[in-house]
A = this chain, B = another copy of it.
């Protein structure tokens, strides 16, 4: 009935809703249309062109849901950010967000889509099972172990295509990509001591294992050199952090001359507070950060810090995940951090 289509213009009598409609227009079977649009080689060149032209003309695109159901794969990688310790941390956490940006690039490159989910484990017991078990994603990248190490371990036993950004523990079962935080902590402490510090402090939350490892690394060096080191716990959300830092600084005034901040963000806040108190950096107190975010080079004085290579991390996460999707049980990947010497230590 729909005999006289308008050859030039977009709209015709009835819209083309699915592959079958298009098949009718093209005078072929749905199967052929499917093959043509999928770019398979089993279609005659002319038929293909005709079908493609028709599809373009009607702005038709095969329904992905149907395709995914039938093929039993989604082409989507889930990215989960568990917000365990500090719900508002990651909202503004430049590091995680930058990692996310790079992940998006890498995944796009490989033809995958990215589904982002921020989860609050405390409110949602089986966030990970839900994400995995519903057939909505082909694989999962978890950004940050938060306080969910054990849960992740459990899942890892029965689910291959998962890679986690975070800290590597001896003998753990899930595949992780991350910096060697302990080494980073060592580098930081060594630098502070080499710069003349004789009493150290670690400033920041020590709960998350990444940070705990940074502290442990620093402590190892400090202990070896018989130099005291203390932990000054703070929250990581911007609003609470500033006050806590101020308190700590009051408390340690004159007693500490080398501060290792858990994060560049913490270091920046610390620098500001020190300046406000008239404490000279690096003369009276040396400061070192972690991450090497863009701000690090913009502080006054420019921040000495331990760099994590975010782009390499993202690439590692994606590469390992793809290998796991192919069935390989990959090893973890630990990236070496580097000391970036600027002027605060």
**Of A63-71, A166-174, A219-227, the one with at least 4 CB within 8 A of chain B:** A63-71
A284, CB-defined interface residue at 8 Å: no
Q: Give a binary string over A252-279; 1 marks a CB under 8 Å from any B CB, 0 the rest.
A: 0000000000000100110110010000
Residues on the B chain within 8 Å of A79, using CB: 116
Q: Is residue A44 contacting chain B, with contact meaning CB distance below 8 A? A: no
Asked if A111 lies at the interface with its beta carbon under 8 angstroms from chain B, I say no
Chain B, residue nearest A124 (CB): B108
Q: Check if A98 sits within 8 Å of B105, measured CB to CB.
A: no
Q: Which residue of B lies closest to A238 (CB)?
A: B294
Are the C-beta atoms of A64 and B135 separated by less than 8 Å?
A: yes
Q: Which of A214-266 contact B (CB under 8 A)?
A: 238, 265
- Kindly state whether residue A50 has any CB partner on chain B within 8 Å: no
A114 part of interface (Cβ distance < 8 Å):
yes
Nearest Cβ on chain B to A264's Cβ, whole angstroms: 10
A92 to B98, CA, bound (A): 6
Query: Binary interface profile of A, 62-101, with partner B (CB < 8 Å = 1, else 0)?
Result: 1111101100001010010100000000111010011011
Say yes or no: A136-B64 contact (C-beta < 8 A), given A117-B108, A268-B298, A295-B295.
yes
Q: Is A7 in contact with chain B by the CB < 8 A criterion?
A: no
Point out the residues of chain B lying under 8 angstroms from A129, CB to CB. 59, 61
Output the least CB separation between A220 and chain B (Å). Answer: 31
Q: Which residues of the partner chain B approach A268 to less than 8 Å between Cβ atoms?
A: 295, 298
A66 and B63 CA atoms in complex are apart in Å by 12
Contacts of A115 in B (CB 8 A): 76, 113-116
Are the CB atoms of A134 and B69 closer together than 8 Å? no
Decide if A300 is an interface residue (CB 8 Å cutoff): yes
Assess whether A114 is in contact with B113, with CB atoms less than 8 Å apart: no
Question: Can you list 28 A-B pairs, Cβ within 8 angstroms, ordered by A?
Answer: A59-B129, A59-B133, A61-B133, A61-B134, A62-B134, A64-B135, A64-B136, A65-B68, A65-B74, A65-B135, A66-B69, A69-B69, A90-B101, A91-B102, A91-B105, A92-B94, A92-B98, A92-B101, A94-B97, A104-B116, A104-B118, A108-B118, A113-B115, A113-B136, A114-B117, A115-B115, A116-B116, A272-B300
